[in-house]
Amino acid sequence: MANLAALLGSAAEKHPERTAIVLGAGRLSYAQLDGASNQVANLLVSHGVRPGDKVALSCPNLPYFTIIYFGILKAGAAVVPLNVLLKPREIAYHLDDSDAVAYFAFEGTTDLPIGEAAAKAFDETDGCRSLFVVPAAATGLPWADQPADFETVDVEDDDTAVILYTSGTTGQPKGAELRHRNMRDNALAGKDLFAADMENPDTYLCVLPLFHSFGQTVIQNGAIAFGGTIVMLPRFDARAALDVMIEETVTFFAGVPTMYWGLLGALDDGVDVSALAANLRVAVAGGSALPGEVHKDFKTRFGVTILEGYGLSETSPVASFSVYGQEPRVGSIGVPIPGVEMRLINDDWSDVPDDPDAIGEIAIKGHNVMKGYHRRPEATHEAIRNGWFRTGDLAKKDTDGYYYIVDRAKDMIIRGGFNVYPREIEELLMTHPAVSLVAVIGVPHDSHGEEIKAVVVKHSDHDDVTEDDIVAWAEEHLAAYKYPRLVEFRDTLPMTATGKILKREI
């Protein structure tokens, strides 16, 4: 069956009693996970959701995410995972832009009232017909009264399974439509990338957010494809992660560089490093460049070499990886994964010279490349030509075919592993009555990699507005990973003759 949900169905059939998900003291077997996702599928069908419809999901790293995710897929619908930090205005945009007809939202906490934000956003939309708020307690679940049997809807390989939202340097976030085969084949790539084996399954620590493509494919779908166990942490805390890695004998860890930095910093006399080293088999890094010192220190302390990879939401996400079992080349994003091609191109799509010193934009072709941007044919045409997707990232390639990123997509900021695109923030800040002109840039930060900074020219009649005022206002309107923590006021901004702000001079 082409449906991505068949990964779960197959694992549940082969190993029904095997533990699928761990959260604290709670355990969920594959049979229980499969049954609960069937209940979600029945709930959706009872509310008129049809194959091809879009269903949004806001949930942190909890078993509910995986239950709902596969329930949506089983119903033949497409999952639209949303960042749990989004504010109502942002959620409403995603619901409308994706054409979501239903929306699941975890109730949340006092500090993170996801359900409250979801309800406000739902009231602002027209096309979304159903809102299901999932309570924090295990009682009163929206699907509790539904049958635990469901025949998974058969779909085509090229039907949309997931829409992942990613921003560009211009305009609002765009939804990358990923086919069932994109997501399925990228999850199954773990057999070659990490020597995954259903008869000797790994235990995966899930600290990467599941609404993000990295955690979703490499951890959730990758674990289920091979009957592994997913140990969930709703929020990353380095010491808590170390403790649970020992307690649950975690063998597979994937994270962004700041997480590795945090793990090393949390090691002390109370941590049984020998137990960690004895259990851990695979360590995977992505999201941004991993410092060489972190590479070296992690290998020394944990006995495992970190494998770096590269990908984007538009590529499901994995496109290249270091080769498992071989000493990686520090600073390299590895080689294309099986079934994927990469090349370096110029602005006109022509190939750069075959020279280790030649720099070009990475273009990707293969089973992982998205169908296109939802309802954006022009943006799709600009990004994809003859099956090749141009990434906007500049790289070199050595004589052995290993790629090295030398620069990122124009203007993009990576804060703690999250992609932040200045244009969206600039457009919002320009609506503040005191802001006449603004440029948003990334500045170096010890733990986050980069911090977001807004350089602002004020209107002359708002001279009393302070930097803190701008930060507080932005925090009200933007997700926590997006709003600028740093603000600098200037009288003017450097510009080109055509009026384009010169951010490199800032």
**Segment 25-50, tens digit of pLDDT:** 999 999 999 999 999 999 999 999 99
| Domain termination residue (choose one: 391, 407, 423) | 407
Q: Could you check whether the bond before residue 317 is cis, i.e. omega within 30 degrees of 0?
A: yes
Q: What is the pLDDT of residues 264-302, one digit of tens each?
A: 989 987 888 898 889 999 999 988 778 778 888 899 999
Q: What is the pLDDT of residues 138-197, one digit of tens each?
A: 889 999 999 999 999 999 999 999 999 986 545 689 999 999 999 999 999 999 999 999
Same-domain check for residues 105 and 208: yes
Mean of the pLDDT values across residues 347-366? 94
Q: Is 381 part of any domain?
A: yes
Same-domain check for residues 387 and 484: no
| Domain termination residue (choose one: 214, 235, 256) | 235
Note every long-range contact of 437-444, with CB atoms under 8 Å and residues 24 or more positions apart, other chains counting. Answer: 437/493, 437/501, 439/493, 439/501, 439/503, 439/506, 440/413, 440/484, 441/413, 441/503, 441/506, 442/413, 442/414, 442/415, 443/486
The pLDDT value given to residue 497: 44
Same-domain check for residues 64 and 150: yes
DSSP 3-state assignment of 379? helix
- Helix 114-123 and helix 88-98: axis angle, to 10°? 60
| Domain termination residue (choose one: 356, 381, 407) | 407
**What CATH number is given to the structural domain containing 110?**
3.40.50.980
The first and second tokens of residue 82, run together, are 């949303």
Residue 496: pLDDT band with limits 50, 70, 90: low
DSSP lists the bridge partners of residue 27 as 22
Same-domain check for residues 116 and 194: yes
**What CATH number is given to the structural domain containing 429?**
3.30.300.30
Q: Is 125 part of any domain?
A: yes
Same-domain check for residues 128 and 29: yes
Domain count across the chain: 3
Q: Is 257 part of any domain?
A: no
Same-domain check for residues 400 and 482: no
Same-domain check for residues 429 and 376: no
DSSP 3-state assignment of 177? strand
Give the range of the structural domain holding residue 230, as residue numbers without chain letter.
6-235
The pLDDT value given to residue 506: 84
The pLDDT value given to residue 309: 95
**What CATH number is given to the structural domain containing 335?**
2.30.38.10
Q: What is the pLDDT of residues 14-29, one digit of tens each?
A: 999 999 999 999 999 9
* Cβ–Cβ < 8 Å for 250, 279: yes
Q: What is the pLDDT of residues 397-424, one digit of tens each?
A: 999 999 998 866 567 788 888 878 787 8
Q: Is 291 part of any domain?
A: no
Same-domain check for residues 402 and 417: no
Distances (CA, A) of 141 to 43, 74, 84, 132, 134: 11, 18, 19, 9, 6
Same-domain check for residues 433 and 385: no
* Cβ–Cβ < 8 Å for 76, 155: yes
The separation between the first and the last C-alpha atoms of the chain, rounded to the nearest angstrom, is 53
Amino acid at 451: E
DSSP lists the bridge partners of residue 335 as 321
- Name the DSSP class of 446: T
Same-domain check for residues 84 and 152: yes
DSSP 3-state assignment of 89? helix
